[in-house]
Structures are given as structure tokens and as C-alpha cells.
Amino acid sequence: MMKIVETVLEGALWNSRFIIFLAVVGSMLASITIFMMASVDVWMLIQHAMHYADASLTEEARKILHDSTVSHIVEVVDGYLLAVVLLIFSLGLYELFISDIDQAHGSKASSKILVISNLDDLKSRLAKVILMIMIVTLFEEALNMHVSQPIDLVYMGAAIALIALSLYLSHAADVGHSSDDEEVTDIHPEEEAEHH
């Protein structure tokens, strides 16, 4: 009797992982929504930028149009990056909790970023894209920044230096991780037996 209860309970606990499908669908729908919104913004931006060549525009109006267009382009890039985060999150959750995506593993054209083998893979991929979102957001703020005193330039320089450092550390972590993987695959069966 206890064995039956244990089997039923363990089956229920194991199958409860399928509730993650709600997060998968929700993240996918949110990603599609943001992709659509960013694409509409691109279309509106193109229509708005058509007036840039208008001969009746003054130099001041043309500069305002130029600055606003560049700022909107950065916003669009930010939107696409956020949509990518949600897409990776959705696919990663599906692979981790529900099932492998056979098409992603079997296709040579599929991006390696969509193949998630563990939770650390998902976190590292998300962290990289979130870092890019933060960089783009800082770039957007820098475009709208008005330098009124020398300390503002110091702050901007410090922010750029911190971004460069974060990108360097992110790249160094990737190189270290890939070299560790190569060392593991280079171990011969005899050496592996000695380790055990």
C-alpha cells in the first residue's frame, strides 16, 4: 500500500513540472508582442525619417529630427533585445523542465544560444543579453544627456569604463568556461579510470 502511495505521489510531483508550460507560453507571447511593437516602431520611424530630406526644414529642425530618430532607433534595439531575452527564457525553460527541442538539436542552422543544457546555461545566456540591454539603455541616456559641468564628463567616462570592464569580464568568463570544457573532453578513458 505504501509503495502505491509513494509511486502516485512521486508521479504527481514529477508531473507538476508541466506547470512551467504557463511561463513558457507567457514568455513566448510577451516576446512576440514586443517584437511586434518594436517592428511597428521601426515602420513609424521610417515614415517619420522621410521628412529629413525635406528642403523646407531649418537646420535646427533637421538636428532635432536627427537626434530624435537616433534616440528612437536605440529604443527599438532595446525592445528587440528584451524580446530576445523573453524568447531565450521561454525556450530555455521548455528545454530544462519539459523536453528537449529536437529541431534545435538536430539542425545545423539553429543557434547555439537556444540549446540549453542546464540552469547555468540559461542564466549565462540571459545575463549576456541583459548586459547588452543595459549598455543600450546607457547609450540612450548618454544621447539625451546635457553636459553642464566637467564632472558630468567624468561620470560618463566612468560609466564607459565600467561597461568595458563588464564586457571584458564576460568574455573572459566565456573563454575560461570553454577551455575547461576542452580539458574535460581531452581526458582519456585510462586517465578517467585513474581519477575514479
- Non-local (6+) Cβ contacts of 107 within 8 A are none
Amino acid at 16: S
Cα 66 to the chain's mean position, in Å?
Answer: 28
Residues of the chain with pLDDT under 70: 104-116, 174-196
Amino acid at 9: L
Distance CA 149, CA 152 (A): 6
Q: Please give the angle made by the CA atoms of 126, 119 and 164, to the nearest 5 degrees.
A: 35
Distance CA 121, CA 113 (A): 9
pLDDT at 109: 58
pLDDT at 189: 47
**Residue 9 cell numbers, joined:** 505521489
pLDDT at 179: 57
pLDDT tens across 185-194, in order? 455 444 544 5
For the chain, the structural domain boundaries read 2-144
